[in-house]
Structure 1
Amino acid sequence: MDLFKIFGREKPSKDVAKERLKLILIHDRANVSPQFLEMVKGDIIKVISDYAEIDEKGLEIKLTRTDADSADSPALVANIPIKKMKDIGR
C-alpha cells in the first residue's frame, strides 16, 4: 500500500530516483536492450492478435523487478488492453 497516494502526496524525489536506479540496474543485469524489448513487444502483439483485438496504443511492456527469495529478479510485465475477443474455434 502506498501511503503517499492515500494522503494525496507525491513520493519524495529521492524515492523516485532510487526506484529509477533499481530499474536501470535490473535492465543491466538482465542484459536487455530497448531493441530487444521492442522485438518482444512485436511478438506479443502478433500472438495475442490471433485471439483478440487489442489496443496497441495502450499496450505497455516493461522490465521490472520481483522480490523472489529476497533477491531482485527481473520480470517482464505486460499490460495489454483487449478490445474484444475473436470468435475463433468456439
Structure 2
Amino acid sequence: MGIMDLFKKKSSGNVAKDRLKLVLVSDRANCSSEMMEMMKRDIIEVISRYMDIDAEALDVKITETESDSNNGMVPALVANIPIRDMKHRPDPR
C-alpha cells in the first residue's frame, strides 16, 4: 500500500462491507449499540478529566485482532480520540 492509497475514496461496496464486518464482530462480542454508547460516554467522561478532547470526533468501535494465546481472532475495542490539549491539573471527580 502506497501513501496515495490513504487518500483514495472507498467505494460504497467496500464501505458497506466494512460496516457489515463491524456489525458481525459486535454481535460476536455481545455488544449492543446501547452498550457502545454507554462506553463512549464513560470514556469521554474519564479522559476529559485529564485532557481536552474533541468528543464529537471520537470514534469507538469493536474490531477483531489476532490473539496471542489461542491463535485465533478475538474482539478488540479500538478508540480514536482527537486530543485538543492536555490539562495541567486533572479535574476532580
Q: TM-score, normalised by structure 2?
A: 0.73
Alignment of 1:27-38 (within 5 A): 27-38=26-37
> For residue 5 of structure 1, what is the aligned residue in structure 2?
5
> For residue 46 of structure 1, what is the aligned residue in structure 2?
45
> For residue 84 of structure 2, what is the aligned residue in structure 1?
83
Q: Which runs of 5+ in 2 are unaligned?
A: none
Secondary structure of 1:25's partner?
helix
Cα deviations by residue, 1:1-24 (Å, 9 ceiling, x for unpaired)? 47x927x585693x6555444322
Cα deviations by residue, 1:14-60 (Å, 9 ceiling, x for unpaired)? x6555444322211110000000000000000000100011111111
Residue 79 of structure 1: how far off its partner (Å): 0.6
Secondary structure of 2:79's partner?
strand
Alignment of 1:51-62 (within 5 A): 51-62=50-61
**How far apart are the structure 2 equivalents of 1:80 and 1:9?**
22
Q: TM-score, normalised by structure 1?
A: 0.75
What is the identity percentage for the equivalent residue pairs of Structure 1 and Structure 2? 49
Secondary structure of 1:63's partner?
strand
**How far apart are the structure 1 equivalents of 2:11 and 2:72?**
24
Superposition CA RMSD, Å: 2.8
**How far apart are the structure 1 equivalents of 2:21 and 2:9?**
22
